[in-house]
Amino acid sequence: MLQRFPGTFGLASDDTHLNANHPGWNGGWIHVNAARREPDAILDAIRAGRFYSSQGPEIHRIEWDGAAIRVECSPARFIRLVGPKGKGARQGGFTGDLLTQAELTLPGGWGYVYLEIEDDHGRRAWTNGLFE
């Protein structure tokens, strides 16, 4: 979808009606960057794409200097920069060491890119497309 329509937003949601103790409950939501905690401000931020989707990991900061993207997040096993057809770059590994920040170089010629954060439990967070 992003290949053809780079400005498309993605949402994580959880509409299950399970017991809170069930492992599949509470599996996805969005974190919104709104000016105020008021319905109109929250809806405006969602419509503008100022949110990310998550199963648990948190993204605290994203910066771009024209060549590299820097991200700060909750402890993560992997921090990935994902582009067309799954191409990308990642930092992290299965060694047990968790990351809270990374700097990833943005390859040229990509029509879109997004960040994916994966915590030690395999839960992920995804940004919307960051650059068109």
> 11 lies in a domain?
no
Contacts of 16 (CB under 8 A, 6+ apart): 24, 25, 27
Specify whether the CB–CB gap between 119 and 76 falls below 8 A: yes
- Going by the DSSP 8-state scheme, the letter that residue 6 receives in this structure is T
> Looking at per-residue confidence, does 44 or 92 come out higher?
44
Share of the chain above pLDDT 90, in %: 38
Q: Domain containing 97 — which CATH number?
A: 2.60.40
Q: Which two tokens stand for residue 17?
A: 């009606």
Question: Does the residue 10 lie in any domain?
Answer: no
Domain membership flag for residue 98: yes
Confidence of residue 15 (pLDDT cuts 50, 70, 90): low
Residue 22 lies in a domain: no
Can you say whether the dihedral through the CA atoms of 38, 73, 29, 68 is positive or negative? positive
What's the total number of domains in the chain?
1
- Residue 33, pLDDT > 80, answer yes
DSSP H or E run through 39: helix 39-47
Q: For residue 20, what pLDDT band results from cuts at 50, 70 and 90?
A: low
Within-domain flag for 3: no
> What domain range is 114 assigned to?
29-127
